[in-house]
Structure 1
Amino acid sequence: MLGEIDVPERLAPIMPRWLSRLLVALVCTAMAVLVRVLLDEIVPGGAVFALIFPAAMLATLFAHWQAGALTAAILILHSWYFLWPVAGSFHFATASGPLSVASVTISATITISIAEIFRASARRATRERDLQIAERDLFLAEFDHRVKNNFAVVVSLLDMQRRRANEPATAEALAAALSRVESIARAHRHLYRGDSGPVSVDMASYIKELCDALAEALMLRGAIRLECHSDPVQLPRDRAVSIGLIVNELVTNAAKHAFSGRSEGRIQVSFRCEPGGWRLAVADNGVGMPEEPVPDRTDGGLGQKLIDAFARQARGTVATESGSDGTRVVLRLTQ
């Protein structure tokens, strides 16, 4: 927006304001004279004073009314002396000449005044907008801090309840809930990192941190490795949270059930770009999924229900392949 461009203010560190206003006035004057010369090739002597007004307006918008007034004064004198009414003279050919020059001067003054009012209004609106943005950023920072604290409280309560649980099934359920809350909290932390802003998540760093936390929480030994790879992708926060929760569920399920009777194994998590969207794959080289549902599962199939729900929330589709050489779950997401 032209009214927001303040040349003297921007050049203040390297030159005085009066000098920058003078330079803007001279540039606008030179442009008007150049256009005048070109027009004279087409319509000689036509609309002598017409270019004074846009040139004065531009100078005012860029460098305040002083630059506009100087531009108007130079162009009026130039047109009066070189173009009208007698070239090379300030004499008037008719008695109405002084009135014409006075009318042009008054019109230029009105134009400069309107441009200065518009420029001041635009600058005031810009300052108010910047103030609102600063207040919003402060509010978001405070909100972010409170949300982090709330996540920390919930995690602490779940962990405390898990430690005090007497029944193994209860402790396992609380541990699963704790892991899910930590996954959401981790995505929230990534919303306010880097240059992506508070609306998107860097999936590469998010998935890496998530896998590191899962490896530590699940106490994966060196014989059972968790490998994670991700393309540098920015995703909206809601989809990122859903994908993180799916990774949490799938890796947890693989660590608990894929390596029964085995002392070593590998879990691989990859998030890749593909034509029209992205692909999340979580694969293991374990024993594979049983053909019939396991009747004594402590979660009653809640994990699979959550995976399906999170996949719908992320606007994706899930496909599972399982055999004696392991299980592979693929989530495909469209843009």
Structure 2
Amino acid sequence: MPRWVTSIAVGLLATACAALIRFLLDTLVPGAAVFPLVFPAAMIATLFARWLAGATASTVSILFGWYYLYPVKNSFRFETSAQAVTMGSVIIAAAITVALAEMFRRSVHRATQERDRQIAERELFLEEFDHRVKNNFMLVASLLEMQRRRAGEGETAEALGSALSRVESIARAHRYLYRGGATPGTVDMAAYLNELCSALSDALFLRGAITLDCRSDHAALPRDRAVSIGLIANELVTNAVKHAFPGRDTGMISIRFEAAGAGWLLTVRDNGAGMPAETKARGRDGGLGHRLVEGFARQARGTIHTESGADGTVVTVQLEP
């Protein structure tokens, strides 16, 4: 449909709405307020469908009121010069209303185009930034993996493997930050933790002997907070695999992330042998891993609580809203 046809149709629709309201008013106060509805009808029509719609609405409304209502019904005659001046004033006011509404509509349209241009430029910048950051993550991970392989077996290789796992956890959160569907600047925790668990299963060679079960509610959390929570889960699962199942080939580790009141609750549970008495006071590994978990919990605005016994260990992190 041509644009001018749409404009005229919108103008006639606005006129019909004004006429309906005028009819309802006329049943209450016959003959009162002949022309005031011309101006809102013309303004609305202009804002929605350009100046032609406003001109159509004002022209039809004024001619209708002039002929059928004012000053002499069923006639375009004037009885006095004052009536002619009144009609001229209505026509001029309607023209000014349409002109102002069209100026406002065009300024809004220009502002919208400028906003869309800025958004497009920002999205292009973010895509380029995302690409460069992903390349940097891949470079760091590749270097760590190369050094880990050269280190062979031992504490050095183990430390490099832990560092590699932490870098990959941060990289996953970064990927979810720039995926569509989430609020800008946030990470979908359900998707993020599920992929994290899958990667941990592959990295720790969990092939059915020790199973890792991950369940999470959907929550859009800020990137930095999501990264901290993912790193907590990464450390706790890694520690559980290393220390919870001595002399055993089977076991279960579960991760739960769920709403708890106004905040969130992260729970990492295993059915291993529990922590030895001498290590309960200083954490499962008593070293860097425990200190990292505490640091990540502070960054995520969480409080850690650990329970350990013969049937396993449960670590809960209560996260503030």
TM-score between both structures, scaled by the size of structure 2: 0.93
Q: Which residue of 2 aligns with 1:208?
A: 194
Q: Post-superposition shift, 1:312?
A: 1.5
Pick from 12, 17, 21: which aligns with 1:26?
12
Instruction: Quote how far apart the aligned CAs of 1:221 are.
Output: 4.0
Counterpart position of 2:65: 79
Q: 20, 40, 44: which is aligned to 2:26? A: 40
Residue in 1 aligned with 2:112?
126
**One of 311, 317, 320 as aligned partner of 1:331:** 317
Change (3 A) 1:102 1:322: same
1:241 to 197, 214, 227: 227
Query: What is the CA-CA distance between 1:300 and the residue it aligns to?
Result: 6.2
Alignment: residue pair count: 320
Q: Report the Cα distance in structure 1 between the residues aligned to 2:294 and 2:230, rounded to whole angstroms.
A: 13
**What per-residue deviation string (whole Å, max 9, x for no partner) do you get for residues 120-141 of structure 1?**
1010101111111111111111
Pick the aligned partner of 1:105 from 91, 94, 98: 91
SS in 1 for 2:277: coil
Q: 1:291 to 1:74 in 2, by over 3 A?
A: same
Select 2:159's aligned residue among 160, 173, 189: 173
Task: Give the gaps of 5 or more residues in structure 2.
Answer: none
**1: CA distance, partners of 2:34 / 2:183:** 53
**Contact 2:183–2:220 (Cα < 8 Å) also in 1:** no
- Could you say what the CA RMSD is over the residues aligned between the two structures, in angstroms? 2.1
Q: What's the % identity of the aligned pairs?
A: 62
1:312 to 277, 280, 298: 298
Q: Distance in 2 between matches of 1:166 and 1:230?
A: 36
Partner of 1:65: 51
> In 2, distance between residues paired with 1:51 and 1:220?
75
* Partner-residue secondary structure (3-state), 2:43: helix
Check conservation: 2:279, 2:286, Cα contact below 8 A. Answer: no
Give the Cα separation in 2 of the matches to 1:64 and 1:137: 31
DSSP-derived class of the 2:246 partner: coil
Distance (Å, rounded) in 2 between the aligned partners of 1:268 and 1:100: 82
Match of 1:95 among 81, 106, 109: 81
The question of whether the paired residues in 1 share the 8 Å contact of 2:14 and 2:44 is answered with: yes
- Tell me the amino acid that sits aligned with residue 210 of structure 2: I
Looking at structure 1, the residues matched to 107 and 207 of structure 2 have their Cα atoms a distance apart, in angstroms, of: 66
TM-aligned CA deviation for residue 232 of structure 1: 2.9
Give the letter aligned to residue 129 of structure 1: R
Q: 1:141 aligns with which of 92, 114, 127?
A: 127
- In the alignment, what sits opposite 2:218? 232
Given the alignment of the two structures, is residue 116 of structure 1 paired with residue 102 of structure 2, yes or no?
yes
Q: What is the identity, as a one-letter code, of the residue corresponding to 1:174? A: L
CA distance in 1, matches of 2:222, 2:305: 23
Deviation at 1:74, TM superposition (A): 0.9
Alignment of 1:239-278 (within 5 A): 239-278=225-264
TM-score by length of 1: 0.89
Matched letter for residue 258 of structure 2: R
SS of the residue 2:253 aligns to? strand
Q: 2:32 & 2:183 partners in 1: Cα distance?
A: 55
| Partner SS state of residue 215, structure 2 | strand
**Cα distance change of structure 1 residues 250 and 203 upon mapping to structure 2, 3 Å threshold:** same
Mapped to 1, the partners of 2:35 and 2:220 lie a distance apart of 56
1:75-106 Cα distance to aligned partner (Å, 9 max, x none): 11111111111111111111233222222211
| 2:225 counterpart letter in structure 1 | R
For structure 1, the residue ranges without an aligned partner over 5 or more in a row are: 1-14
